[in-house]
Structure 1
């Protein structure tokens, strides 16, 4: 678990896939913490990854860029990648950039896991 007061990160596994739980702000003040955590998770668990964004209170374009980087890294390595519980008010940047149409977004963890096994 990684926590600096602005951002708390933890991970669990579901269906053999690591789920990163993100709680707080994703911006310049937390970018390095977020990046390091995702790198560590990818090294420890391989290319399959689900990011639970349900408790993200704000996301900027650089954080979104980091998510896109990990999505591309995961899929290039043959992995499954998904974002779950994305809240529009705190993640508007996904819609402004048009990435909400391209990124694998799911309402729930179960939906993401079902898509992986389909």
Structure 2
């Protein structure tokens, strides 16, 4: 899975990389430090692991909304691509696998 291509296709969402959280999508790439958002992501992950699709869907929608509110205006596609590229290049193999799994869950929830 080409992570940069996936980011370009998807709207913003919150992803966990190691112990850090990021808003990533076709219009955004920046760290997320808002505790309410990171707590929401933890609940989203717990619902996925517990196989509670209805609750996972609720937290998924909240994370999508948080990502929309975090957008920077004006939109700067070159800067976003630069941040995404630097982020992907710094990932460990474990981080790549984790992010790939999260993107798979994103697609499952979005469809």
Q: Name the one with the larger helix percent.
A: 2
TM-score strictly above 0.5: no
Structure having the larger proportion of residues in strand: 1
Instruction: Give the alignment's TM-score, normalised by structure 1.
Output: 0.28
**TM, length-normalised to structure 2:** 0.29
Return the structure number with greater relative CO, CA threshold 8 A, min gap 6. Answer: 2
